[in-house]
Amino acid sequence: MDGTDSKVNLGSIPLVALNVTVRKKLGLYLNPKHTVAADWTAVAETMGFSYLEIKNYEASRNPTKTILDDWAARNSETSVGKLVSILEEVERKDIVEDLRPLIDEDVRKYLETQKKKAEPPVQVPEVDSCVPRTPERSGITVDDIPGGIPEMFDAFICYCQSDFEFVLEMIRELEQTEYNLKLCVFDRNVLPGSCVWTITSELIERRCKRMVVVISDEYLDSDACDFQTKFALSLCPGARSKRLIPVVYKSMTKPFPSILRFLTVCDYTRPCTQAWFWVRLAKALSLP
């Protein structure tokens, strides 16, 4: 990295900073079996995965992506710097050199986003710490009161457009019943005109107690859902705060996302448990 960027400590940059492009290119390098160069299995072993886990990953269509997701989910100390060190340790400096410009660009964008999210000091004698202090955060939802306390929610709903009918059902079952929960549904609650990533990060981190992830085949192809899920996971490594609740409401043809497979799923596809579905989900969202 050039200029002031050369001083950035990659060890302090979380793995979530790497976007889809870099992750796909890593797969192109590491997924194919090599006889002379280390592949994904060597990387997984260096990350600390067991022999049985590595054998299980062989069934994945993209084992590199799977191990990166699982590594980040189980280890709160993962970072871009640690990944680079592992690639160098398994003697794949060629990958580091080829992808370094893309990695540096992702890190630059991540740091810019964090800088924009940082709240500048307010030069007033007394201030409510709950009041948003930047234009981006004060007035991002329909019921936000300018200069007032930000609108808060019980859960942020992570979904793709093709699953919106189920989201509407979720609104009816959780908001318009005795549960009386308050859900943050992007298409309904967020005002247009601001940066999607900035708003999403603000809502997930500061305004919503939990996040419901509506899992479907279409979800797996959504960059927005991918970002939201990984951002939420980065806030609670190992699911210590029960922040994420995966929901499956229809049959899938693609494998369940590995990054969420260690979480207990609320499954609407099983007729024998449908009667308890909304009760379980409502109680999970009502936890303090």
Backbone angles phi, psi at 126, to 5 degrees: -145, 140
Give all domains of the chain, ordered by start, each with its CATH number. Answer: 10-118 (1.10.533.10), 153-286 (3.40.50.10140)
Residue 256, pLDDT score: 93
Note the Cα 94 to chain centre separation in Å.
29
Determine if residue 206 is left, alpha or beta; phi over 0 gives left, psi from -120 to 50 gives alpha, anything else beta: alpha
Q: How far is CA 271 from the centre of its chain?
A: 30
What's residue 69's pLDDT?
Answer: 86
Q: Which pLDDT score is estimated for 158? A: 97
pTM greater than 0.95 (yes/no): no
Exposure b/e, 231-248, CB count within 10 A at least 16 = b: bbbbeebeeeeebbbbbb
Q: Helix 93-117 and helix 20-30: axis angle, to 10°?
A: 170
pLDDT confidence of residue 61? 86
Residues of the chain predicted below pLDDT 50: 1-6, 121, 123-134, 239
pLDDT of residue 1: 43
pLDDT of res. 120: 57
The confidence score (pLDDT) of residue 222 equals 94
**Whole-number pLDDT of residue 7:** 60
